[in-house]
Structure 1
Amino acid sequence: MANDGRFPCDLAVFADTGEEPAAVYRHLDWLRSLGTPPILIRSAGRLGDDLIRGCGPTRRFVSIPAFTLGEAGRVGRIPRQCTRTYKIDVVERAIRRDLLGLAPGRRCPPGVRVVQYFGISTDEAGRAARARKRFAEKQWTVPAYPLLDLGWTRRDCLTWLADRVPHPVPRSACVFCPFHDNAAWRDLRTVDPDGWARAVAIDEALRADGSACRRGFRQPLYLHRSCQPLAEIAFDALAPEPLDPMAGECHGMCGV
């Protein structure tokens, strides 16, 4: 839409976790071929590798919202830090350094204001309200929601894209994101064997001795809400899932 002149955009940033499906990287290449706006690719490292080995001298890791199985079969979910570290912080650092030219630790000059666009549709308007709270104390940047201003639903977006993009537009999310529903896991296994293999490897690493992400957890961790190993789940036999109340925990930053 920025390329079509629907709203002004000086710069786009792709915060790369190194763990997107192959279709997302192909789509990113196509977007960059359009020429405008320029798209920067920035990264805080490969998320899956950091979960396994940790990063830095302390082998620090950033948790993903994996599932745990506690006493009496109760399923829980651990805190999520990945969006902040691998998405939000990466985008804000690119804005400060690449767009504004600020050295680390420097304040934004008075009078400068950056508008950040979020592709949140009316189906998920509650996410916009949560994001506005995050921006409330920042003087130098404000959020904008062009799809909400247009009153567009997700279906409206798909209709608009179908006439302008020569391939299906994929959903941006790590291949091992625990927010995947059964249909997403099944599609990943079918259309992206390499992505599926990576997801299975990370799922197994969550429970492997020596993985950085095991530190501090007594219960084993799983990518799937059933708390079964991903490779052992018969997704073809599973019925469609009802609306997931936990899905609202996703802040939508993966599609910024």
Structure 2
Amino acid sequence: MTSTQSPLRAFSFGGGWQSMAALVLAAQGRIDFDTFLFANVGDDSENPDTITYVRDYAQPFAAAHNLKLIELERHLRGGQTETIRQRIINSNGSRQTIPVFLSNGKPGGRACTYDFKILVTGKWLKANGATPQNPATVAMGISLDEIGRANAGKAMPYERLTYPLLDLKIRRADCPRIIRTAGLPVPPKSSCDFCPMRKIPEWQAMREKNPARFERACQVEETINHHLAAKGKRPVYLTRTGRPLRHLFKGGDQLPLFDTDNEGCDNGWCTT
């Protein structure tokens, strides 16, 4: 029997400027998506300001406009929730999770985006009917100024990627205005709270404005290096400086600024 099921349509919601602008555009009928999927990598791992914004502003706004903003989590086979921070703390260094930097400043491998964003979203899509024969249309929040990040060829077999902000020629700088037209505050930049793609000034601002968050990030870096040292391996870092995060702003040294052009995740699943 031939399936007559309509192809599933969903927007990958990252919690940042582009995703929130897309939610407003959907409410205005300018983009044709009514389902938004927020893959939460963990309340102990996401920027806490992003979590607060999604739950206090984005989800109520979506509900008020008959849109679905669904929060997803990664679950292990036994049903337990796994977060990125939990994996780092509990894995004994056996798996590379986040894109830490090696001593020479080069980035290492990572599994965070694939395991905690792509697979989590994919599990929901497949549970709701997406197949290679009937792929879901998944929209990514890449704006015109980031067009180089758009790559439909990276789609999983059960999905087809699309970029509605590109079609509307919307740039990242346009997003705050779009969000404010809906009477909403502009969300903070979304990312893991200890993401190595964060720029040096952002780390400094975190240390000054929220020392508890900065301390947790230092603990992540130190945990990884504790396990590496036990294996006789060289340390890695959350910045390209080759220096521990905890000591980065001590001693009055001039801060290296060569990582200020970091673009972060290049495929649209993060920082949007």
**1:63 corresponds to:** 97
SS at match of 2:71: strand
What corresponds to 1:5 in structure 2?
A: 29
Alignment check: 8 A CA contact 2:96 2:109 kept = no
Cα deviation, 1:179-221, whole Å, max 9, x if unaligned, reads 000122123223444322221110111211xx4x778772111
Q: Which residue number corresponds to residue 33 of structure 1?
A: 60
Shift of 1:178: 0.5
CA contact (8 A) 1:21 1:195 kept: no
Query: Size of the alignment, in residue pairs?
Result: 234
Runs of 5+ consecutive residues of structure 2 not aligned to the other structure: 1-24, 75-81
Alpha-carbon distance in structure 2 between the residues aligned to 1:203 and 1:171:
21
Is the CA contact 1:182–1:238 (under 8 Å) kept in the aligned structure 2?
no
Letter in 2 for 1:7: I
Contact 2:87 2:97 (8 Å CA) reproduced: no
CA change 1:253–1:214 in 2 (3 A) is farther
User: SS at the partner of 1:147?
Assistant: helix
Task: Provide the rounded CA distance (Å) in 2 between the counterparts of 1:252 and 1:33.
Answer: 24
Alignment of 1:17-28 (within 5 A): 17-18=41-42, 19-28=45-54
Q: Which residue of 1 aligns with 2:239?
A: 224
2:174 to 140, 144, 156: 156
Structure-2 separation of matches of 1:32 and 1:65: 30
Amino acid at match of 1:67: F
Amino acid at match of 2:204: R
Q: Residue in 2 aligned with 1:252?
A: 268
Identity percentage over the alignment? 25
Q: 1:234 aligns with which of 243, 249, 252?
A: 249
Structure 1 pair 240–32 and aligned structure 2 pair: CA distance change class (3 A): farther
Deviation at 1:249, TM superposition (A): 5.4
| Residues 200 and 259 in structure 2, CA contact (< 8 A), matched pair in contact too | no
Q: In structure 2, what is the equivalent of residue 176 of structure 1?
A: 194
Q: Structure 1 regions of 5+ residues with no counterpart?
A: 103-107
> Contact conserved, 1:67 with 1:75, CA < 8 A, in 2?
yes
Asked if the contact 2:102/2:236 (under 8 Å) is kept, the reply is: yes
SS at match of 1:65: coil
TM-score by length of 2: 0.75
TM-score (structure 1 length as normaliser) = 0.79
Counterpart-to-counterpart distance in 2, 1:227 and 1:144? 38
**In structure 2, what is the Cα distance between the partners aligned to 1:31 and 1:9?**
15
Structure-1 residue corresponding to 2:148: 126
CA RMSD of aligned residues (A): 2.8
Is the 1:123–1:154 Cα contact (8 Å) retained in structure 2?
A: yes
Match status 1:82 vs 2:112:
yes
